């Protein structure tokens, strides 16, 4: 890491230094060149007015004579002039290159010739339709100065890069020293060494913050490992219970299949087939409930405001065909909770179905809306304290014969508890054997400030 840090510092800063040096040289040259162009254009304006007053109406021979005089006069002042008659130089003058022919366009024009030696800046303007005067300014000194300035700037940037490399070496060593200690601590965690490596948590800078964050992470990792061990143990227990639970229906199916291989009366074969269909339905229901239980929580909840009375009325409508001679009623307050509507419906359906299965003809199952959830009450067989303690464990059944007769999978309440946990709520049981059971689901809610509680019609 130390080497990478040095390399990255140099890769970022050295090009920046040279880029700044190049930019400064280019910027300085550009400003100087613009000033020189402006000076040459001003000089050209003065010369042009002088020439125009004298040579505007001259013929070719007169123009050539005056051109020699002007060229000689201004050459002594360091100004180079070229006169062109109908796009051709006169008075023994020559264009420096063919590029200058573009200035003979019949109007004022300028050209920067950076390819010649020395470099020139030329401005041309027609005196009349036949005569054009061109002034050439030498800007070669500016290009030479630019080259010297760039060499000096790059030399300074190179020296600064060397100093920066030394600084980066010292800085990287200072920064990576505590990080090496953090690396040792990480290796100790990986090797599960009991004695922790001392970390610089007392520092007040970023390294101290990193050390404290690492210490907190170490604690979180240990807590997560403990939680994973608990989940692994729970999954192993679930698989053990599943294997045990499936043994009975599979054994029954195998026995019935062997019976069907024999010659049996039609009524007996129908009874065996009905028994096998019931066991298959039970295994299918078990598989569906188990899939819901294991998949739940892997995706975020799609929460919305759910009307509790409306939710319970929908549950009552779905379950009334199963209730036969059992009365299913909805009562309570007009309340709303936040949650996943489909999961809350599944929760209410399972709890209400359990209440119906625990009830007998003539009894009433009540679905009651509460301000922070709902309750399911029945007048059925009730539960003992031991049954309540184990009610939400997968595949646990207080009355195995009754559960098998009703076709239950033993996963309904485990699924209900998981749904309650996903909503930040809980299930509570109140029951007395022979006197019925009340199961209440509560969850944190955030009602509107102006909401009121009204009785359900």
Residue among 429, 413, 415, 422 at smallest CA distance from 444: 422
**Whole-number pLDDT of residue 294:** 60
**Whole-number pLDDT of residue 169:** 74
Which residues make beta-bridge pairs with 124? 109, 134
Beta sheet of 426-431, edge-to-edge order: 327-332, 364-370, 373-378, 437-442, 426-431
**Whole-number pLDDT of residue 401:** 45
* H/E run at residue 1: none
Write out pLDDT tens, residues 218-256. Answer: 777 777 777 777 666 656 655 555 554 556 567 777 787
Write out pLDDT tens, residues 278-301. Answer: 777 666 755 665 565 565 555 667
Give Cβ neighbours of residue 323 (< 8 Å, ≥ 6 apart).
356, 365
Which residues make beta-bridge pairs with 439? 376, 429
**Are the beta carbons of 155 and 22 closer than 8 angstroms?**
no
Six-digit token pair at 193?
A: 């060494």
**Whole-number pLDDT of residue 400:** 47
Burial annotation 191-223 (CB, 10 A radius, 16+ → b, else e): eeeeeeeebeeeeeeebeebbeebeeebeeeee
Burial of residue 40 (CB within 10 Å: 0-12, 13-18, 19+) is buried
**Are the beta carbons of 437 and 377 closer than 8 angstroms?**
yes
**Whole-number pLDDT of residue 420:** 87
Point out the residues of the chain with pLDDT beneath 50.
244, 400-409, 447-457
Would the pTM count as exceeding 0.85? no
Strand 109-113 to 426-431 pairing: unpaired
The gap between the terminal CA atoms of the chain, to the nearest Å, is 72
């Amino acid at each position: 890491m130390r080497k990478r840090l040095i390399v990255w510092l140099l890769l970022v800063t050295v090009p920046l230094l040279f880029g700044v040096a190049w930019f400064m040289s280019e910027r300085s040259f550009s400003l100087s060149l613009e000033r020189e162009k402006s000076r040459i254009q001003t000089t050209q304006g003065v010369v042009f007015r002088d020439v125009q007053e004298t040579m505007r109406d001259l013929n070719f021979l007169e123009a050539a004579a005056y051109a020699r005089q002007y060229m000689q006069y201004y050459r002594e002042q360091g100004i180079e002039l070229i006169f062109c008659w109908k796009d051709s130089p006169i008075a023994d003058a020559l264009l420096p290159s063919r590029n200058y022919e573009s200035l003979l366009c019949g109007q004022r024009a300028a050209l920067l010739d950076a390819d010649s030696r020395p470099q020139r800046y030329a401005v041309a303007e027609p005196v009349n339709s036949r005569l054009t005067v061109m002034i050439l300014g030498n800007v070669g000194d500016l290009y030479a100065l630019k080259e010297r300035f760039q060499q000096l700037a790059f030399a300074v940037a190179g020296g600064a890069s060397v100093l920066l490399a030394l600084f980066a070496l010292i800085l990287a060593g200072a920064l990576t020293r505590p990080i090496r200690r953090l690396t040792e601590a990480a290796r100790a965690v990986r090797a599960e060494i009991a004695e922790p490596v001392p970390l610089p948590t007392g520092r007040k800078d970023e390294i101290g913050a990193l050390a404290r964050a690492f210490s907190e992470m170490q604690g979180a990792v240990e807590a997560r490992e403990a939680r994973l061990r608990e989940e692994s143990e729970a999954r192993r227990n679930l698989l053990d219970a599943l294997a045990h639970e499936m043994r009975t229906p599979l054994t029954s199916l195998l026995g019935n299949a062997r019976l069907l291989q024999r010659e049996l009366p039609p009524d007996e074969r129908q009874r065996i087939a009905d028994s096998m269909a019931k066991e298959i339905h039970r295994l299918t229901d078990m598989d569906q409930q188990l899939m819901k239980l294991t998949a739940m929580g892997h995706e975020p909840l799609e929460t919305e405001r759910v009307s509790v009375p409306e939710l319970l009325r929908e549950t009552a409508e779905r379950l009334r065909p199963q209730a036969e001679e059992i009365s299913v009623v909805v009562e309570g307050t007009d309340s709303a909770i936040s949650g996943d509507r489909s999961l809350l419906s599944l929760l209410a359906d399972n709890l209400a179905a359990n209440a119906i299965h625990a009830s007998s003809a003539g009894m009433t199952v009540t679905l009651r809306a509460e301000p922070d959830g709902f309750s399911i009450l029945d007048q059925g067989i009730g539960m003992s304290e031991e049954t309540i303690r184990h009610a939400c464990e997968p595949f646990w059944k207080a009355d195995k014969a009754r559960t098998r007769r009703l076709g239950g999978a033993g996963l309904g309440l485990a699924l209900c508890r998981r749904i309650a946990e996903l909503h930040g709520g809980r299930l509570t049981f109140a029951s007395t054997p022979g006197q019925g059971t009340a199961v209440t689901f509560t969850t944190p809610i955030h009602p509107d400030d102006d909401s009121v509680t009204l009785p359900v019609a």
